[in-house]
Chains A and B, each alone.
Chain A
Amino acid sequence: MKKSFVFILIGILCVFASAKVLFEDSFAEETDDWELGMTLEVYDDCLINEALGLSLDAKLVGEEFENCAISGTFEINEWGKNGALRILFRYNSLFESYWLSFFPSGVGVHRFTGSWESGVYLGGEDNPAFGSLGRHTFRIEVKDFTFKVFVDGKEELCIIDPEEAFLVGGLVLRFDDVAFSFDEIKVESL
């Protein structure tokens, strides 16, 4: 009796300890969960763009998150002259959100509060390895106004927004002048 109680207790604790998946997509097929830009396509179990020179959004429809961890896997196939692969979190509009951007030269986080000019660079890491052609993983842990960024399994950034601009918002993947495939994305509770 005592033993089974312990097992039940462990089980309950495991349930409470594990993160809850709030959203997940492995791009097995195109669903209506996303509003996709013109040349974005879902096939071969990926979200794909092969065209350079465009800015394209994949906007997750009808979902908003507060504290959460956003993770995913993508492959960069080619950078254009102004290339950037971005994860816009706590998205309220294009220029009312936080942007985690991968560039050929590294990664960085910006905050926008109403216009392009309002953009503030909150921090980043110059390292061409992060933007190298090939496969990468990322994870952003968003807790209140502290953002931890993991690239390829390693924590690279810990950023605090002193302005505490946005506590909640949606999720957009934005692709500027980059050919890529995006394998999976997951949002979990923290």
Chain B
Amino acid sequence: MTKEFRLSFTVDLMVGHHAWFDIPYLLHEPAAVVKILKELTGINTLYVIYGGQVSPLEAVEIFGKWFEAGKDYNVEIIPVLSLINNYFAREKPDLIYPNSGSVPKVDLRLDEVKNEYGFIVEEIDSRYAPNYFGVFEFNEFSAATIMGDYPRIKTTEALEWIEYLGSKTRAKRAVSFMQPWALTLRWVKEFDLASLDTYGFLRDETWDELESYTKKAAAVFKETDGDLIILDDYGGELPALRQRKAAQILKECGVTGFNMDFIIIAHVLWYKQGEDFWTDLLSDGSYDGVFKDSFNEVCQIFRENQGVEGEVQ
């Protein structure tokens, strides 16, 4: 079965410039974001991440703006739920796992947390009927687990989370920021689509490892896309040649799409370079900041892959 190659970006629900999802209002209109990104790169997908910026009901309504814009510009919206939740940290602190790191994260083992997140999934499903639903965002969970800031999640507990949220939607299940170390976990096999976190491989130019990871992921998930990240967490640029090389490897190893994470880009540019990425991009339809070479390379890679069909397992 062939399907259009997925060209995607990952964005914060509020189009913020802070990776901890603590801006409780829309900084830019989704319609403007989708329009510019479509014109610039021809994308067909946006992963939009809820990290507890606002209440569940407000989030559902803001997601509506994304779905409306997606419909106007023929861009598929994949809502994604992160365990980070600043809203609950303020309003329902009992739902937050104690001392869960630098940003508050809900305890997914709690029934009330499942109910709150189940509400979001059910409402989004009934109102906007997405094809895919990101019921797990792996990045923060992974970091907190490694640091010991989040409890070990038993296989049965993770499966319960995925099953419960999955039961609230007709959408296929997706996971964003899929981590290389976790590919063998039993519960991860429940996802149909995985957006792969490839950051470390581009940063370190460990191409053999990228190849190995991508091949393994392609064997686990029906669909995968890989991140063509342009900078490191400390404000250093990953030169354009790396995105080109990564794109080639990803495709050769069976991904069905590309991705780029705008959350970390906006965050790092804001804090390390003093740039407002979104304002720059949206003001005239192009990003003209310090990392424009790498950014433009990714845009070019995306344009070259428009209309390309990918093989779906």
Interface residues of A (CB under 8 A from B): 29-30, 35-36, 38-39, 41-43, 48-51, 54
Binds A, one of B19-27, B80-88, B179-187: B179-187
| A39 to B, closest residue via Cβ | B184
Chain B interface residue count, CB cutoff 8 Å, equals: 12
Which B residues are CB-close (under 8 A) to A42?
154-155
Tell me if B146 is interfacial: C-beta within 8 Å of chain A: yes
Tell me, in angstroms, the Cα distance from A41 to B184 when the chains sit together. Answer: 10
The answer to whether B155 touches A39 (Cβ under 8 A) is no
The answer to whether B156 touches A29 (Cβ under 8 A) is yes
Tell me if B139 is interfacial: C-beta within 8 Å of chain A: no
**Given A38-B145, A38-B146, does the pair A30, B184 have CB atoms closer than 8 Å?**
no
The answer to whether B181 touches A41 (Cβ under 8 A) is no
The answer to whether B185 touches A36 (Cβ under 8 A) is no
**Given A38-B145, A38-B146, does the pair A51, B156 have CB atoms closer than 8 Å?**
no
The answer to whether B154 touches A30 (Cβ under 8 A) is yes
**Given A38-B145, A38-B146, does the pair A30, B185 have CB atoms closer than 8 Å?**
no
The answer to whether A51 touches B152 (Cβ under 8 A) is no
Q: How far is the CB of A46 from chain B (nearest CB, A)?
A: 11
The answer to whether B186 touches A41 (Cβ under 8 A) is yes
Tell me, in angstroms, the Cα distance from A54 to B185 when the chains sit together. Answer: 14
Chain B 174-192 residues near chain A, CB threshold 8 A = 181-186
- Please list 10 pairs of residues, one from A and one from B, whose beta carbons are closer than 8 Å in the complex, sorted by A's number: A30-B155, A38-B145, A39-B181, A39-B182, A39-B184, A41-B155, A41-B185, A43-B155, A49-B184, A51-B183
Tell me, in angstroms, the Cα distance from A38 to B145 when the chains sit together. Answer: 8
Which B residues are CB-close (under 8 A) to A30?
154-156
Tell me, in angstroms, the Cα distance from A7 to B154 when the chains sit together. Answer: 48
- For the A-B complex with A29-B156, A30-B154, A51-B181 known, give 16 more contacts whose Cβ atoms are closer than 8 Å: A30-B156, A35-B152, A38-B182, A39-B181, A39-B185, A41-B155, A41-B185, A41-B186, A42-B155, A43-B155, A43-B156, A48-B186, A49-B184, A50-B184, A51-B183, A51-B184
Which B residues are CB-close (under 8 A) to A49?
184
**Given A41-B186, A43-B186, does the pair A36, B181 have CB atoms closer than 8 Å?**
no
Tell me, in angstroms, the Cα distance from A29 to B185 when the chains sit together. Answer: 16
Which A residues are CB-close (under 8 A) to B185?
39, 41
Which A residues are CB-close (under 8 A) to B156?
29-30, 43
Interface membership of chain B positions 153-183, coded 1 if the CB is closer than 8 angstroms to chain A and 0 otherwise:
0111000000000000000000000000111
Tell me, in angstroms, the Cα distance from A42 to B184 when the chains sit together. Answer: 13
Which A residues are CB-close (under 8 A) to B146?
38
Contact of A36 among B152, B182, B183 (CB under 8 A): B152
Tell me, in angstroms, the Cα distance from A78 to B145 when the chains sit together. Answer: 26
Tell me, in angstroms, the Cα distance from A39 to B185 when the chains sit together. Answer: 6
Q: How far is the CB of B152 from chain A (nearest CB, A)?
A: 6
Tell me, in angstroms, the Cα distance from A50 to B156 when the chains sit together. Answer: 17
Q: How far is the CB of B214 from chain A (nearest CB, A)?
A: 16
| B183 to A, closest residue via Cβ | A51
Tell me, in angstroms, the Cα distance from A50 to B216 when the chains sit together. Answer: 12
Which A residues are CB-close (under 8 A) to B145?
38
| B209 to A, closest residue via Cβ | A53
Tell me, in angstroms, the Cα distance from A64 to B155 when the chains sit together. Answer: 27
Tell me, in angstroms, the Cα distance from A49 to B184 when the chains sit together. Answer: 8
Which A residues are CB-close (under 8 A) to B154?
30, 42
Tell me, in angstroms, the Cα distance from A29 to B154 when the chains sit together. Answer: 9
Tell me, in angstroms, the Cα distance from A43 to B153 when the chains sit together. Answer: 13
Which B residues are CB-close (under 8 A) to A50?
184
Tell me, in angstroms, the Cα distance from A30 to B183 when the chains sit together. Answer: 20
Q: How far is the CB of B157 from chain A (nearest CB, A)?
A: 9
Query: What are the nearest 9 A-B pairs in CB distance?
Result: A50-B184, A51-B184, A30-B154, A41-B155, A43-B155, A43-B186, A41-B186, A39-B184, A41-B185
Which A residues are CB-close (under 8 A) to B181?
38-39, 51, 54
Tell me, in angstroms, the Cα distance from A39 to B186 when the chains sit together. Answer: 9
Which B residues are CB-close (under 8 A) to A36?
152
Tell me, in angstroms, the Cα distance from A117 to B183 when the chains sit together. Answer: 34
Interface membership of chain B positions 118-159, coded 1 if the CB is closer than 8 angstroms to chain A and 0 otherwise:
000000000000000000000000000110000010111000
Tell me, in angstroms, the Cα distance from A49 to B156 when the chains sit together. Answer: 16
| A51 to B, closest residue via Cβ | B184
Tell me, in angstroms, the Cα distance from A175 to B156 when the chains sit together. Answer: 22
Q: Which of A36, A43, A48, A54 has the most CB of B within 10 A?
A: A43
Q: How far is the CB of B87 from chain A (nearest CB, A)?
A: 29
Which A residues are CB-close (under 8 A) to B183?
51
| B184 to A, closest residue via Cβ | A50
Q: How far is the CB of A38 from chain B (nearest CB, A)?
A: 6
| A179 to B, closest residue via Cβ | B184
Tell me, in angstroms, the Cα distance from A119 to B80 when the chains sit together. Answer: 49
